[in-house]
Amino acid sequence: MATTWISGAERLGDGSIGGAMDKPDAPARVVWHTTESGHGNAAFDSVADYLIQKAAEPHILYDPVTDRIGQYGSFAESARALKNDGSTRTNRVGRACIQIEVLARAGDPFTAYWRPGKNFKALMAAIRSWGILDEFPMGTPAKTASAAKRDRNKWLTKGGHYGHCNTPGNDHWDPGAIDVKALFAAAPASGGSNGGASTSPSSAAYTVKAGDTLSSIGVKTGVAWKTIATLNGIKSPYTITVGQKLKLKATATTTRPSVPAFPGAGYFRPGAKNSYVTQLGQQLVKRGYGRYYQEGPGPTWTAADRAAVRAFQHAQGWTGTDADGYPGPLTWKKLFS
Ligand SMILES: [Zn+2]
């Protein structure tokens, strides 16, 4: 079930900032912003009010140092921190377009000094509940204004995480060159507690309430979607009515294979010898990268491991430091899923 409100978040404003999405058939996504301010409670309170005055509310205001979190509006509706791209209302692109303002400055990437806690984990759990993967389709957010990449086609068609710097029709370049691996590693997907975010049990009866949409109750529809629930009584064109009883049931065909937890970058370094290196190598062979090994794979980290990892990273379309041959959480996840 997709989380619409984070249960532990402070409510900011009157709870109503946007409305229905214009392009709900496009995949859900996240847009990261920075407020270009300092952090701490005084900054949080004044920025929270300022964004209301400006009518430029995101969904979430987050303090990266104190882990304080506030929410202005439901993730099932639009926020309003983006400019339109011509006639395209960028705030309303996607099944969800979750916007997060981090109390930080683009020129001083917050992942260098932040202290994410349980509220950050709850935020990431809520994001993932929308089926949003831990990836940035346009790469790591820009380090400078002039480096901002804004690919309109990707924006309209791909889900995942973006920066304001990636949104077509916009000129801001926040959130700066944050460490995207650190961002996801701070809230591991396999890591137990979801911080109070709501999730669906494996099988549950559900009565449709006013305001529910198929997506808000966790049902994906349409040709390319993988359904995450079996529905009783819903047929194409997939409509639901208030009071209707649904049986939501996770099915074997739709459960993703479980990804083993990423053990940490330190296990994959020159001189390292451990069973994770063997596990990594065996998975690389399974995925078609056996040609890099003249012997092994084995527990000792070798140039063959690195070459195979690098080839796998390049195959994901990654370049530069994202394809350095050393696995991070995202490489690990992609490799095992
Ligand atoms: Zn912004």
Number of neighbouring beta carbons within 10 Å of residue 43: 15
Compute, in angstroms, the gap from residue 62 CA to the centroid of ligand 1. Answer: 13
Q: Write the pLDDT tens digit of every residue in 248-296.
A: 543 333 334 578 888 888 899 988 999 899 999 999 998 889 888 888 8
Compute, in angstroms, the gap from residue 22 CA to the centroid of ligand 1. Answer: 20
Residues 58 and 175 reside in one and the same domain: yes
In a domain, 4, yes or no: no
Which 8-state DSSP code applies to residue 66? Answer: T
The confidence score (pLDDT) of residue 45 equals 96
Sheet holding 10-11, edge to edge: 10-11, 69-71, 60-62, 97-102, 29-34, 160-163
For residue 215, pLDDT over 50 is answered with yes
The confidence score (pLDDT) of residue 1 equals 77
Residues 154 and 294 reside in one and the same domain: no
The confidence score (pLDDT) of residue 190 equals 57
Compute, in angstroms, the gap from residue 104 CA to the centroid of ligand 1. Answer: 11
**Could you tell me the CA-to-CA distances from 262 to 105, 265, 266 in Å, in that order?**
30, 8, 11
Average pLDDT, the chain: 85
Residues 164 and 21 reside in one and the same domain: yes
* CATH code for position 318: 1.10.101.10
Compute, in angstroms, the gap from residue 33 CA to the centroid of ligand 1. Answer: 4
In a domain, 193, yes or no: no
* CATH code for position 154: 3.40.80.10
Residues 99, 82 contacting (CB under 8 angstroms): yes
For residue 198, pLDDT over 50 is answered with no
Residues 245 and 307 reside in one and the same domain: no
In a domain, 192, yes or no: no
Range of the domain at 29: 10-185
The domain tally of the chain equals 3
Q: Please, which residues have CB within 8 angstroms of residue 287's CB and are 6 or more apart in sequence?
A: 312, 335
Residues 176 and 250 reside in one and the same domain: no
Residues 50 and 159 reside in one and the same domain: yes
Residues 109 and 35 reside in one and the same domain: yes
Q: Write the pLDDT tens digit of every residue in 217-226.
A: 555 444 323 3
Place of tokens 């932040």: 114
**Cα dihedral sign for 297, 303, 308, 309?**
positive
Taking the CA atoms of residue 80, residue 84, residue 89 and residue 91 in that order, the dihedral angle to the nearest 10 degrees is -30
- Structural domain ending residue among the three candidates 151, 185, 219: 185
Single out the residue of 26, 6, 9, 146 nearest to residue 75, CA to CA: 6
Q: Do strands 160-163 and 29-34 pair parallel, antiparallel, or not at all (unpaired)? A: parallel
- The residue that leads in pLDDT, 213 or 320, is 320
In a domain, 2, yes or no: no
Residues 213 and 120 reside in one and the same domain: no
The confidence score (pLDDT) of residue 254 equals 34
For residue 114, pLDDT over 90 is answered with yes
Per-residue confidence at 200, pLDDT binned at 50, 70, 90? Answer: very low
Compute, in angstroms, the gap from residue 194 CA to the centroid of ligand 1. Answer: 27
Beta-strand runs (E) in 174-272: 203-207, 245-249
Compute, in angstroms, the gap from residue 50 CA to the centroid of ligand 1. Answer: 14
- Structural domain ending residue among the three candidates 239, 256, 273: 256
Compute, in angstroms, the gap from residue 313 CA to the centroid of ligand 1. Answer: 29
- Structural domain ending residue among the three candidates 185, 208, 240: 185
Residues 207 and 231 reside in one and the same domain: yes
Work out the angle between the directed axes of helices 329-336 and 303-315 (0-180°, nearest 10): 80
Per-residue confidence at 205, pLDDT binned at 50, 70, 90? Answer: low
In a domain, 195, yes or no: no
Compute, in angstroms, the gap from residue 82 CA to the centroid of ligand 1. Answer: 7
In a domain, 101, yes or no: yes
Residues 16 and 128 reside in one and the same domain: yes
Residues 16 and 158 reside in one and the same domain: yes
Q: Which residues pair with 34 in a beta bridge?
A: 102
Q: Write the pLDDT tens digit of every residue in 146-156.
A: 999 999 999 99
In a domain, 127, yes or no: yes
Residues 159 and 50 reside in one and the same domain: yes
In a domain, 228, yes or no: yes
Beta-strand runs (E) in 195-319: 203-207, 245-249
30 phi, psi to nearest 5 deg: -125, 145
Per-residue confidence at 337, pLDDT binned at 50, 70, 90? Answer: confident
- The residue that leads in pLDDT, 290 or 68, is 68
